[in-house]
Amino acid sequence: MNIDTNKGIKGFAIIVDINSYAKMVSDSKANMMAQFTRDVLAGGIRAVEEQGGIVVGFMGDAFLGFLSESENVFSSCLSIAQDLNNQCEYISNNYEAFPFSPQGPSLKIAIEYGHFDISDITSKFLGNQKLFAGEAINYAARISAAESGNRCLIGPQAYENGLKDYISRGDGPFSIEGKQGESICEYYRLNLDDIWIERESEESYWS
């Protein structure tokens, strides 16, 4: 995905965020969480980059990425689901090493389409960084708060720009109320339940 700082970019913003992160931090030993967070998010980062996207920022327990084509967005979501399933299986077999997350982590994925402005920002520690801003990023962040557990939620512009081909009938539109002064946000649900391997114990890590 090419970046033109002067023109900005147009495409799909994807935010991948760990659920119940604050509680896991409070329940854990401080020296374990950075590595655990890295391991949980690494599969999602790899999925986005393998589909030609870019990952541009980290926000504690989340990352922000961009992809240009709807089919690449869908493939990324499948890969994220498959990777998390593998992680949950590993943790369930080694749960004593993860007392703060014995059943494994869960993720929320939020996606919206739009135009994004780009600027530069610098700090002594990080050096020069790209700063991205756009309504679609804000919209994705807002709809990520809807529902619970593992979920992949799609904004209306992302739906209209190709992701509707992957949304089943009955999976939207839904709505979530914003904070005071904010409008209601509509979203659709990308159902990934079939991606997760059903174990003999009938565990389904995604659902």
Q: What is the 3-state secondary structure (H, E, C) of the chain?
A: CCCECCCEEEEEEEEEEECCHHHHHHHCCHHHHHHHHHHHHHHHHHHHHHCCCEEEEECCCEEEEEECCHHHHHHHHHHHHHHHHHHHHHHHHCHHHCCCCCCCCCEEEEEEEEEEEEEEEEECCCEEEEEEECHHHHHHHHHCCCCCCCEEEECHHHHHCCHHHHCCCCCCCEEECCCCCCCCEEEEECCCHHHCCCCCCCCCCCC
* Residue 195: per-residue pLDDT: 66
* Residue 9: per-residue pLDDT: 86
Q: Are 125 and 83 in contact (CB under 8 A)?
A: no
Place of tokens 């919209």: 139
Q: Are 111 and 163 in contact (CB under 8 A)?
A: yes
* Residue 199: per-residue pLDDT: 46
Q: Based on the number of CB atoms within 10 Å of its own CB, is 182 exposed (0-12), middle (13-18) or buried (19 or more)?
A: exposed
Provide φ and ψ at 47, rounded to 5°: -65, -45
Q: Classify strands 107-123 and 127-133 as parallel, antiparallel or unpaired.
A: antiparallel
* Residue 29: per-residue pLDDT: 64
* Residue 142: per-residue pLDDT: 93
* Residue 138: per-residue pLDDT: 94
* Residue 89: per-residue pLDDT: 76
Reading the chain (207 residues) residue by residue, the pLDDT tens digits are 767 667 788 999 999 998 777 677 777 765 677 888 888 899 999 999 999 999 999 988 899 999 999 999 999 999 998 888 887 777 777 766 676 666 677 889 999 999 999 988 999 998 998 889 999 999 999 999 898 878 899 999 999 999 999 998 889 899 998 777 778 999 999 988 766 544 455 455 544
Q: Is the pTM of this model over 0.85?
A: yes
Q: Are 140 and 154 in contact (CB under 8 A)?
A: no
